[in-house]
Homo-oligomer: A and B are copies of this chain.
Amino acid sequence: MNHPHTPHASFSTTPLYLSAPDAVALVRRKGLKNCIAGMAEYIRADFLRWPDFDKSARVANHSQGGVIELMPIADDTTYSFKYVNGHPHNTAIGLSTVMAFGVLADVATGAPTLVSELTLTTALRTAATSALAAKALARPNSRVMALIGNGAQSEFQAIAFQHLVGIDTVRLFDIDPQATTKLFANLSATGLKLQVCTSVAEAVQGADIVTTITADKACATIVTADMLAPGMHINAVGGDCPGKTELAADVLQAAKVFVEYTPQTRVEGDSQQMPADFAVTELWQVLNGTRTGRDNDAQITVFDSVGFALEDFSALRFMHEAALALGYGERLHLIPQLSDPKNLFVTLLDAGHKASALPLPCLATAIA
């Protein structure tokens, strides 16, 4: 299952469509922890071949209420992009803060092969990436995680860290107590020991790993340097666009900082607060052994995660293959099916008109 390529019907122009209900059914069928673990494997395999990818920072359209982004990436055979928004006030009107969908396409022809929901899938791939990074960067004996921000993605983080990192205790905090109530209830059957806390400082105290996954589009300082303890790993997920941060600058200053894709993180991550020459290490180099991760057990490590297109590429391939294998999804007629690809116009003609498409004598000069 390592680094397989997405299969696709030759020359097909009917991409598979995986709806949100289909993705839910698929994840329930395979099991959430298996899906997160499977995605983490795909992500790891793709990070190990990092130089194979045509990478770019995402394209963002910012507005007063939020941001809409496109995140394209490709290797020699497969192209993907993700559409994703971030609108922190959406929950007030019953919409998700983050909604996403994604596409896979065949590099050789440009034909789309998959159109998929990517809201649920983003939650899975983000958790998978966080856990993958923590496995490489946190102290191996990490058991306690603080989870700051108990919104839509928090359960996925808890379950990923339980199964992939070995976390057994989660300390919960959110400025919205109802979010914490919801997270507590949702995690009640997982076997995780859950500790509800009344402040960030309380939650962070005694934690081996601190995961921040807050949604406010503001330069927040959720974790400050006085909360740090030697050997802590900070998984900073929520600070992911310009003007949206979670860590105080002196937290970054005190830590060894790891990123996905430097040009993007310097603009979008917590590192946006730091000078352009602030030292960061790319995760893929730690995974492939060319750079060291944590230098010692006392060091503070920060994964300044913003979400990179390659993670969606990996996640979409995982979902595509699982959907094809298990028979989920349907075909979308998004592209005209033409008997002659140079004759798009003929699709607009009725049968009577088509009959006039006969060889014409006046064309002899052109054909001769």
Q: Which residue of B lies closest to A344 (CB)?
A: B152
Given known A19-B334, A109-B85, A110-B85, contact A356–B188 (CB-CB < 8 A): yes
Q: In the complex, are the beta carbons of B65 and A107 less than 8 A apart? A: yes
Chain B residues closer than 8 Å to A86, beta-carbon distance? 110
Across the interface, which residues of B come within 8 angstroms of A347, CB to CB?
A: 24, 120
A9 within 8 Å of B (CB atoms): no
One of A43-51, A73-81, A161-169, A236-244 contacting the partner: A73-81
B184 touches A334 (CB 8 A): no
Instruction: Given A180-B366, A336-B117, check contact A356 B189 (CB 8 Å).
Output: yes
Contacts of A367 in B (CB 8 A): 177, 181
Asked if A328 is at the interface of the complex by the 8 Å CB criterion, the answer is no
Q: How far is the CA of A362 from the CA of B340 in the complex (A)?
A: 68
A343 at interface, CB cutoff 8 A: yes
- Cα-based distance from A333 to B73 in the complex (angstroms): 25
Question: How many A residues touch the partner, as a band?
Answer: 35 or more
**Which residue of B54, B93, B336, B365 is within 8 Å of A198 (Cβ)?**
B365
Q: Are A342 and B85 in contact (CB under 8 A)?
A: no
Distance (whole angstroms) from the CB of A172 to the closest CB of chain B: 8
Q: Which of A96-104, A249-257, A268-276, A300-308 contacts B (4 or more CB under 8 A)?
A: A96-104
In the complex, A222 has a CB within 8 A of chain B: no
Q: Is A349's CB within 8 Å of the partner chain B?
A: yes
Please state if B63 and A90 are interface contacts (CB–CB under 8 Å).
Answer: no
> Chain B residues with Cβ under 8 A from A337's Cβ?
20
C-alpha spacing A155/B21, complex, angstroms = 41
CB distance from A159 to the nearest CB of B (A): 9
Q: Is B61's CB under 8 angstroms from A186's CB?
A: no
Report how far A346 CA is from B348 CA in the complex, Å: 46
Give the distance in Å from the alpha carbon of A348 to the alpha carbon of B186 in the complex.
10
Q: Which of B17, B112, B349 contacts A83 (CB 8 A)?
A: B112
Q: Which of chain B's residues have a CB closer than 8 A to the CB of A120?
A: 336, 344, 347-348
Q: Name the B residues within 8 Å of A61 (CB-CB).
A: 54, 72-74, 79, 107
Nearest neighbor of A332 in chain B, beta-carbon distance? B19
Q: Looking at A32, A56, A99, A367, which has the most chain B CB atoms within 10 Å of its CB?
A: A99
Q: Is the CB of A345 within 8 A of B95?
A: no
Check B20 against A119 for contact (C-beta < 8 Å).
no
User: A68 contacts which chain B residues (CB < 8 A)?
Assistant: 72, 74, 79, 105, 107, 110
Q: Which residues of B contact A99 (CB under 8 A)?
A: 13, 110-112, 335
- Inside 8 A of A186's CB, which chain B residues have their CB? 343, 345-346, 349, 357
Q: State in angstroms the CA–CA spacing of A156 and B347 once bound together.
A: 12
Set of chain B residues within 8 Å of A366, measured between Cβ atoms: 172-173, 177, 180-181, 196-198
- List of B residues within 8 angstroms of A83 by Cβ: 81, 103, 105, 112
Shortest CB distance A54–B (Å)? 5
Are the CB atoms of A91 and B153 closer together than 8 Å? no
A11 on the B face (CB < 8 A): yes
A222 shortest CB reach to chain B, Å: 16
